[in-house]
Amino acid sequence: MKDMPMSELKRKKRAIILFNLGGPDGPDAVKPFLFNLFNDPAIISLPNPFRYFLAKLISSRRAPIAREIYDHIGGKSPLLELTQDQADALETELNGLDDGFENRCFIAMRYWKPFADDSAAAVKAWGADEQILLPLYPQFSTTTSGSSVKDWKRACQKVGLNAPIKTACCYPTNPGFVEASAEMVKVGYENALKKSAKLGVGKPRLLFSAHGVPKAVITKRGDPYQSQIEKSAQAVVDKMAIADLDWLVCYQSRVGPMEWIGPSTEHEIERAGKDGVPLVIVPIAFVTEHSETLVELDIEYREIADKLKIPVYERVRTVCSHPRFISGLVEVVSETQQALDRNGPDDYAVETRGWWCPDEHSCAIAKQPMGPGQA
C-alpha cells in the first residue's frame, strides 16, 4: 500500500471556488446587476433600509448609461466565459498532479450569475471533502475578495455545506502572476517603443491602472488594497528589468462625490498629454477582460488620449488564461492547502477569518462592513 502512487488511491475531493465580480449576461440584467453591486455593504456601508433605497436609486439612474457601455461589447459582459476558461485550465493543471486530490473548479460571482447560493449547492452535491477559496483578485480588498468570502460563508450556511475551507486571500507578488504580467507588459512596451521611434518621439510611460476605491476604504478599514497594488506594479517592473523605465500607479473608474485614492488614470493621461509622451496602459488589478478594460481603457481613455494628441496609446491585455498565470494559481492553491493542513480550516462564522496571508497578515485584520443580516 505504501508504494502505491496517489493516482491508484482514493483521491480526496477538493473544490476550488473561483470568485469574481460577475457581469450582466444581457441588457435586462444590467439594472439588477447594478442593484446587487450597490446594495453590498462592502460598497455602500449604510445600514438598511437606507442602503437598499439608495441602491435602487443609483441602479435606476445608472442603468441606461451602463447599457450603452455594454453595447460596445455585444450587450453583455465577457467575464463569465473568460473566468470559465481560467477554471478549466486550472482544473486541468491541478488534476495533472499526483498529489491525492480530485479537483473541481466552481465559479461564484458576487453580483450576477452564477451566485454563491447556486455554486455552494453544486459543491455540496458533488460531495467535496475540502474547499479552497480562490478570489480572482490578486490584491485583497474588503470591497472584492472580502465581500465574496463573506457571501460564500453565508451561502454555505444556507445550503448546509460544511466541508472545511481555507482562503487564499491575496497573491500580489505571486511569481506566476508577476511573470505573466511582465511578459505581456514587455511586449506592449516594445510595441509602443517601435511606434514611438517611427514618430520620432521619446520613450513611453507605463501607467499601471487599477480600479479605484474611496479613500475611506483604505484609511478607516485598514484595507491593504492600495499597498498591494503598488507591490504588484513594483514586482512587474523589477521582473522586466528595463533601465530608466518611466512608470507609475494610478486608479480608474471613480464614481460619486467621495474622495478616492489617486492619482486618477484620467489625470495621468492628461499629464502625459502635457508632457507629450507615449503611453502604455497596464490593467494591473484585472485578470480578465471586461467593461473597465474593453470600454473604459480601450475606448473612453483612448478618446481622451487622441484629443490630447498623445502620440502612442498602447493597452496591454489582461493575463486571462496565460499559462504562467495558471501555474501561479496552482502554486497559490498548493500554498493554501499547506496552510489548511498545518493550521486547520477557517472558521465558518461569517465575521471571523483566521486566514493564512502571504502579505504580513494584512488582509486578515482589515475591517469588513456588516452583512445584510446585521444591517
Residue owning grid cell 433605497: 53
Q: How far apart are CA 266 and CA 128, in angstroms?
A: 46
For residue 320, report the phi and psi dihedrals to the nearest 5 degrees: 45, -120
Select from 349, 318, 330, 339 the least CA-distant residue to 82: 318
Cβ atoms < 10 Å from Cβ of 278:
23
Is 322 annotated in some ligand binding site? no
Non-local (6+) Cβ contacts of 223 within 8 A are 140, 141, 142, 143, 213, 217, 366
Q: How far apart are CA 227 and CA 210, in angstroms?
A: 12
Is 292 annotated in some ligand binding site? yes
Dig out the grid coordinates for 207 from the structure: 501607467
Q: How far apart are CA 106 and CA 124, in angstroms?
A: 11
Cα angle: 141, vertex 83, 111; to 5 degrees = 55
As a whole number of Å, the CA-based R_g of the chain is: 21
Burial-class residue 185 by CB neighbours within 10 Å (0-12, 13-18, 19+).
buried
Q: How far apart are CA 219 and CA 33, in angstroms?
A: 28
| Residues flagged as binding site for Fe(2+) | 211, 292
Binding site: residue ranges?
Answer: 211, 292
